[in-house]
Each structure stands twice: as structure tokens, then as C-alpha cells.
Amino acid sequence: IEVERGESSSRERKWERPPAAATTHEQQAKEQSPLTLATLKAVKEQVEKRGSRISHGVIVKYFDNNDAPYDWLLPGWVAEERYVPSGRKGLGRIYKHYCGSTGHMYYSKRVVLFAWKKMNIICLDA
């Protein structure tokens, strides 16, 4: 799922939106598990409580454990990637956050694994 706020420049970046022929948000939502959809709902409620603080040009994408780089996540957990462009040569930075089913945000994989350990969740890395 992808959300964009503000305007983006006409320059091409490696983290651009997929072409219009790609799947729509409704099709992507059908492919996600009910646990993931519940987590996304909790995350969006948290964002509404904090208020909209996303700057112009920022692109937000959500991933779950069905996406290749995040297959280590537990069902119902969501990874959020924010692409924040900078004015310097059109480069930007990608910030990654991980959200649990309550909508609580964790800011690194290490912190997520530590939280799982505190919850007595055993993760085996293959």
C-alpha cells in the first residue's frame, strides 16, 4: 500500500511509484491478510491522533511478511518505508519503521527482535 503527500518532482528516482498498469490499492488490500489489514487500520488511527506531519514530496509505503525483504516479520506486523527527498541533486533518504498489531512503532529490526524476546516470542532465523 502506498500513500503520497505533496508533489514530487519530474526527475526520475529509483524509488518512484509503479506504473499505472500495476495493481491498485484495492487489489493489494485483497492480497493482504486480515491481521495485516487490522494493523494498518491501527497505524492509520495513530497517525490521525498525532496529526498530519508529512512534508511535501514524502512517499509512504507499507509492507508485510509476504514481501521479500520483510519475510522475517510475524503475521500482522507491518513495515513502513518513507522516502524523504532532499534538495541536493534529487537524492533522498528512506526511513524504515516497524508496526505491531497495536500500532506501536519500532524504529529498527533490532528493537523489534528485542520486543519479541520480551514477549517470549521465539524467532528462528533461517
101-116 pLDDT per residue, tens: 888 899 999 999 999 9
Residue predicted with more confidence, 20 or 93: 93
Note the pTM of the prediction, 2 decimals.
0.67
Question: Mean pLDDT for the chain?
Answer: 76
35-58 pLDDT per residue, tens: 889 888 888 888 777 776 667 788
SS (H, E, C) the chain: CEEECCCCCCCCCCCCCCCCCCCCHHHHHHHCCHHHHHHHHHHHHHHHHHCCCCCCCCEEEEECCCCHHHCCCCCCCEEEEEEEECCCCCCEEEEEEEECCCCCEECCHHHHHHHHHHCCCCCCCC
Going by pLDDT thresholds of 50, 70 and 90, the confidence category of residue 16 is: low
Q: Where are the domains of the chain?
A: 34-119
The correct answer on CATH 3.40.50 for the domain covering 34-119 is no
pLDDT value of residue 33: 84
2-7 mean pLDDT: 53
pLDDT value of residue 45: 85
Residue predicted with more confidence, 122 or 14: 122
71-103 pLDDT per residue, tens: 999 999 999 999 988 877 768 899 999 998 888
